[in-house]
Amino acid sequence: KVIATSSREVGRNDSMRFSCQSSQSLLSETVFDCLKQWRRRLQSVVLSPRFDWGFGFLVFLQGLVIGVQTDHMAREPTGDVPTAFRAMDITFCLLFNAELLMRLFVFHKFFFIGDDWRWNLFDIAMVALQNVEEITTAVAMHDRDGNDDG
Give the pLDDT confidence of 49-90 residue by residue, as tens digits: 999 999 999 999 999 999 999 999 999 888 788 899 999 999
Quick check: is 79 in a domain?
Answer: yes
d(CA 92, CA 83): 14
Residue 63 and residue 111 in one domain: yes
Question: In which band, very low, low, confident or very high, does the pLDDT at 125 lie, cut at 50, 70 and 90?
Answer: very high
Higher pLDDT, 48 or 149: 48
- What pLDDT sits at residue 27? 67
| Percent of the chain predicted with pLDDT > 70 | 79
Number of domains into which the chain is organized: 2
Question: In which band, very low, low, confident or very high, does the pLDDT at 10 lie, cut at 50, 70 and 90?
Answer: very low
Q: Where are the alpha helices (DSSP H) in 1-116?
A: 25-46, 49-75, 83-107, 110-113
- Tell me the whole-structure pTM to 2 decimals: 0.73
**Quick check: helix, strand or coil at residue 129?**
helix
Quick check: is 150 in a domain?
Answer: no
Shortest CA distance to 95 belongs to which of 120, 62, 119? 62
Can you give the residue range of the structural domain that contains 116? Answer: 47-144
d(CA 4, CA 19): 8
Residue 64 and residue 126 in one domain: yes
Residue 15 and residue 80 in one domain: no
d(CA 9, CA 52): 43
d(CA 14, CA 34): 14
Residue 9 and residue 70 in one domain: no
- What pLDDT sits at residue 112? 94
